[in-house]
């Protein structure tokens, strides 16, 4: 990627923040022959994507089934190839009285005049004050993700996660992949906040969830060693050994720059609190300032990409006037965002839509989809070469035509929730696996159920590794009575 | 905190350049360009700063240069955010007590 470190004095569009929203806007605007400058305070573009080693939900428009780290590369390359001037290690300091934006490029201040400005500066994590929260070892879940996935440093051996939303669940899983043990996940709510498929990965690994519980104190001399939690319903207290306490207690939009530019803020708790009020072109109350991504209301990377595209197109429209197809494209994006946001909150009681019971009795080997929520996600349908999987609207659960399934298992390897299992009634099960060491054929393992409970012994009979995205497909042989219950395994010798 | 050298998804580079820097006079190894706070954590040093009023230990909190909790004295300059400042060969780093003293105003 060619990166320029010189700043011009003026440009058509200045984009602050090179995450999914800023990059998507840069691609659209620079691709329409506009002079676009994209600044980011970090040395690498991609925003939070560069820490995200999990596969994305969404549709192919949102790079569904692709890991965040790869999406960061793809978007950065695309923006650079579109002719966007990309300036890393450059912070936007604020708004000067003459209308220019003050920037600091590695400590050297300068000012830039732009016809349109996009603020795509992302969100900030919430802290959670409790006795001992300032101890080293207590940090945000995002910090732990940075240490682990960017710097290959384990934030702790025994980790206590506070918060069971998607951030808490995903980061817990990623720390386990790097070799940590999740001592507990604690949440004051009485049900898990994040997606059931993310929680299921942790539950089948035996991670204890303490719901309706709160962290009371972190104890340690120079860093955290122990944590006390209280169970609300029973009033009992537990003491848990942990050398890291991670806070996954929500995000808020970053609004400092928007406020400085005079953008009116609005308030919506579901989107993280205050953020700049904007219309359906992503224009804020200040006519030449646009907003997109988490700083325009905290949602997901997929919606950030689409909001960025929308803002990029709208700014191009402002400067260059009507472009063929632009309005149509913007409408498409709007309807995609609408469909994506239309996800009904799950009640936790949804019926298994394609459980073993739904399968015609004659079948011997078939995929089981343990995907019960209306997540905006369809990579399984896109990946099926036989066209056996239908996802009606983006938030519908998959429906399988078993008469067309060839048993190729692409749906297993692509599912971002690792929620598809290949059941063979004759006594084997294949599942997606992303832990080291690589399982070896012939290895004897402890078979585990959906809550991590041991169900018996089995053998690994195959391990296929997809070189492209590293997800392994592991086949286990077992007593045929267990195929509907086994969903994971433990290595012998694992504690 | 421990480093890991193998990962099911990530490629952990094995040929990273090693450098030596100094923590309160003690030479420590690090990978060139990784954040100072990461190099210290890998060496077992988590309490990088002591608070102004009650002299309590502080460490990495946000990991992205927003919260100031990992501020240290780096080559004589106080309040350096060590979670986003790359470690370099021969750097001198020490724990910051309170607001930190200016030993080098950057103009020398």
Q: Name residues whose C-beta falls within 8 Å of residue A74's C-beta, 6 or more positions apart in sequence.
A: A63, A66
CB distance from A167 to chain B under 8 Å?
Answer: no
- Alpha carbon distance A176, B8 (integer Å): 11
Q: Name residues whose C-beta falls within 8 Å of residue A452's C-beta, 6 or more positions apart in sequence.
A: A203, A204, A205, A206, A207, A488
> Which residues of chain A lie closer than 8 angstroms to B65, CB-CB?
41
- Alpha carbon distance A259, A277 (integer Å): 11
- Closest CA–CA distance from residue A49 to any residue of chain B (Å): 14
> Which residues of chain B lie closer than 8 angstroms to A138, CB-CB?
61
> Which residues of chain A lie closer than 8 angstroms to B5, CB-CB?
152
Radius of gyration of chain A (CA): 24
H/E segment holding residue A73: helix A68-81
Q: pLDDT band for position A251 (50/70/90)?
A: very high
CA angle A97, A101, A105 (to 5 degrees): 135
Section A221-247 average pLDDT: 97
Q: Name residues whose C-beta falls within 8 Å of residue A79's C-beta, 6 or more positions apart in sequence.
A: A23, A26, A27, A30, A38, A45, A86
For B58, which residue in chain A has the nearest alpha carbon? A136
Q: Residue A238 to residues A229, A451, B5, B54, B99: CA-CA distances in angstroms?
A: 5, 21, 34, 28, 37
- CB-nearest to A134 from B1, B58, B83 is B58
Q: Which range among A135-139, A304-308, A310-314, B14-18 shows the weakest confidence by mean pLDDT?
A: B14-18
- Alpha carbon distance A159, A182 (integer Å): 5
CB distance from A137 to chain B under 8 Å?
Answer: yes
The per-residue pLDDT for A359 is: 64
Q: How would DSSP label each residue in B35-81?
A: BHHHHHHHTT----EE-TTT--EE--SSSSSSS-TTEEEETTEEEEE
The per-residue pLDDT for A315 is: 96
Whether A228 contacts A213, CB under 8 Å: no
Q: What percent of chain A has pLDDT over 70?
A: 94
CB distance from A60 to chain B under 8 Å?
Answer: no
The per-residue pLDDT for A2 is: 43
> Which residues of chain A lie closer than 8 angstroms to B83, CB-CB?
143, 146
* pLDDT per position as a tens digit, A292-338: 999 999 999 999 999 999 999 999 999 998 765 688 999 999 999 99
Length of chain B as a residue count? 108
> What counts of helices (H) and strands (E) characterise chain A?
11, 29
- Closest CA–CA distance from residue A143 to any residue of chain B (Å): 4
- Alpha carbon distance B105, B108 (integer Å): 7
Whether B10 contacts A53, CB under 8 Å: yes
State whether B66 and A53 contact (CB < 8 Å): no
Eight-class DSSP state of A51: G
**Which residues 4-33 on chain B approach chain A with CB closer than 8 angstroms?**
4-10, 12
Whether A407 contacts A365, CB under 8 Å: yes
- Alpha carbon distance A227, A246 (integer Å): 11
Q: Which range among A173-187, A202-216, A353-367, A390-404 shows the weakest confidence by mean pLDDT?
A: A353-367
- Closest CA–CA distance from residue B66 to any residue of chain A (Å): 9
CB distance from A149 to chain B under 8 Å?
Answer: yes
H/E segment holding residue A30: helix A20-30
pTM: 0.94
For B32, which residue in chain A has the nearest alpha carbon? A151
By three-state DSSP, how is residue A265 classified? strand
CB distance from B102 to chain A under 8 Å?
Answer: no
The per-residue pLDDT for A357 is: 53
By three-state DSSP, how is residue A357 classified? helix
pLDDT of A70 > 80? The answer is yes
By three-state DSSP, how is residue A417 classified? coil
Choose, out of B37, B58, B60, the residue to mutate when testing the contact with A (most A CBs < 10 Å): B60
For B59, which residue in chain A has the nearest alpha carbon? A136
């Amino acid at each position: 990627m060619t990166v320029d470190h010189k700043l011009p004095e003026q440009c058509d569009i200045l984009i602050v923040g090179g995450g999914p929203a800023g990059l998507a806007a840069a691609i659209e605007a620079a691709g329409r022959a506009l002079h676009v400058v994209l600044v980011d305070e970090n040395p690498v573009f991609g925003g939070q994507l560069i820490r995200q080693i999990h596969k994305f939900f969404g549709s192919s428009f949102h790079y569904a089934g692709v890991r965040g780290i790869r999406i960061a590369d793809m978007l950065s390359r695309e923006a650079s190839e579109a002719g966007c001037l990309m300036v890393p290690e450059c912070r936007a300091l604020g708004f000067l009285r003459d209308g220019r934006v003050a920037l600091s490029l590695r400590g050297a201040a300068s000012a830039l005049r732009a016809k349109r400005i996009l603020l795509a500066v992302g969100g900030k994590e919430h802290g959670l004050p409790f006795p001992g929260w300032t101890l080293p070892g207590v940090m945000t879940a995002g910090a732990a993700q940075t240490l682990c996935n960017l710097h290959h440093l384990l934030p702790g051996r025994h980790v206590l996660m506070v918060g069971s939303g998607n951030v808490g669940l995903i980061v817990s899983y990623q720390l386990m992949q790097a070799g940590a043990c999740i001592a507990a996940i604690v949440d004051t709510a009485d049900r898990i906040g994040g997606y059931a498929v993310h929680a299921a990965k942790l539950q089948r690994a035996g991670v204890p969830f303490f719901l309706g519980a709160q962290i009371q104190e972190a104890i340690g001399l120079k860093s955290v060693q122990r944590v006390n939690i209280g169970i609300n319903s029973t009033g009992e207290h537990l003491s848990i050994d942990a050398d890291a306490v991670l806070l996954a207690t929500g995000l808020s939009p970053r609004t400092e720059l928007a406020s400085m530019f005079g953008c009116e803020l609005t308030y919506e708790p579901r989107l993280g609190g205050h953020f700049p009020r904007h219309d359906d072109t992503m224009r804020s109350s200040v006519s030449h300032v646009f907003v997109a991504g988490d700083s325009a209301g905290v949602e997901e990377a997929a919606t950030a990409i689409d909001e960025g595209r929308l803002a990029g197109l709208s700014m191009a429209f402002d400067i260059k006037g009507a472009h063929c197809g632009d309005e149509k494209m913007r409408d498409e994006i709007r309807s995609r965002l609408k469909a994506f946001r239309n996800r009904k909150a799950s009640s936790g009681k949804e019926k298994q839509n394609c459980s073993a019971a739904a399968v015609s009795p004659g079948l011997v080997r078939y995929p089981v989809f343990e995907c019960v929520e209306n997540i905006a996600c369809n990579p399984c349908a896109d990946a099926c070469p036989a066209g056996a999987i239908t996802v009606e609207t983006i938030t519908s659960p998959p429906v399988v035509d078993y008469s067309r399934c060839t048993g190729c298992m692409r749906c297993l390897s692509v599912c971002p929730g690792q929620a598809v299992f290949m059941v063979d009634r004759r006594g084997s099960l294949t599942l997606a696996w992303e832990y080291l060491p690589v399982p070896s054929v012939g290895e004897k393992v402890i078979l585990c159920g959906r809550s991590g409970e041991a169900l018996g012994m089995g053998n690994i009979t195959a391990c296929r590794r997809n070189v492209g995205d590293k997800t392994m497909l592991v086949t286990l042989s077992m007593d045929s009575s267990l195929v509907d219950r086994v969903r994971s395994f433990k290595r012998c010798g694992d504690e | 905190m421990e480093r890991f050298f193998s990962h099911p998804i990530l490629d952990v580079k094995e040929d990273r350049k090693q450098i030596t820097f100094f923590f309160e006079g003690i030479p420590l190894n690090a990978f060139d360009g990784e954040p100072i706070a990461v190099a210290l954590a890998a060496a077992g040093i988590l309490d990088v700063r002591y608070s102004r009023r009650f002299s309590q230990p502080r460490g990495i909190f946000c990991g992205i240069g927003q919260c100031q909790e990992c501020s240290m004295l780096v080559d004589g300059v106080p309040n350096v955010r060590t979670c986003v400042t790359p470690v370099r060969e021969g750097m001198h780093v020490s724990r910051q007590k309170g607001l930190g003293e200016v030993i080098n105003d950057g103009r020398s």
